[in-house]
């Protein structure tokens, strides 16, 4: 397979979350290729910003509508397409969960407390989730109201 253009290796995604009372729940989806639990993400297309890509991919891949609530939590690298993609991840507050979305037939979705989400994700995502959890614990991210 031919290597993808350099632009394919710049990606953005979101860590979707919602509040259930005082508890935070994280939205995870399955990867199409491996079935591993991941955060939604995708290639930053020409004319898009990392932020707009994160919001768009979250709707397409996870059926989640929401709004970004801060700067990138961090970035991770993923070997893909004969190269290494760098993925920036932003916190996204869930405002609506769709019952039907673009990739609902090919992905699973679940909402989990942070502790349970940590047990399902791969190491490269744990730093992102840890940065998010630190913001929750410090009060930088808190329930609306």
Residues with a catalytic annotation lie at 60
Q: Decide: 67 and 51 in contact? Cβ < 8 Å.
A: no
Q: What is the CA radius of gyration of the chain?
A: 15
Integer angstrom CA distances of residue 60 from 12, 16, 100, 105, 139: 13, 13, 10, 12, 30
> DSSP characters for 77-144?
EEEETTEEEEEEEEEEEEEEE-SS-TTTTT--EEEEEHHHHHHHB-HHHHHHHHHHHHHHHHTSS---
């Amino acid at each position: 397979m031919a290597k993808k253009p350099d632009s394919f290796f710049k990606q953005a995604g979101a860590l979707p979350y919602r509040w259930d009372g005082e508890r935070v729940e994280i939205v995870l989806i399955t990867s199409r290729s491996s079935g591993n639990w991941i955060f939604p993400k995708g290639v930053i297309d020409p004319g898009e910003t990392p932020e707009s890509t994160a919001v768009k991919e979250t709707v397409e891949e996870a059926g989640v509508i929401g709004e970004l609530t801060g700067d990138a939590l961090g970035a991770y690298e993923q070997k893909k397409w004969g190269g290494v993609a760098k993925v920036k991840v932003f916190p996204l507050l869930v405002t609506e969960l769709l019952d039907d979305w673009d990739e609902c037939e090919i992905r699973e979705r679940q909402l989990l407390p942070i502790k349970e989400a940590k047990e399902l994700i791969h190491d490269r995502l744990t730093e992102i989730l840890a940065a998010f959890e630190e913001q929750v614990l410090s009060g930088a991210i808190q329930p609306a109201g």
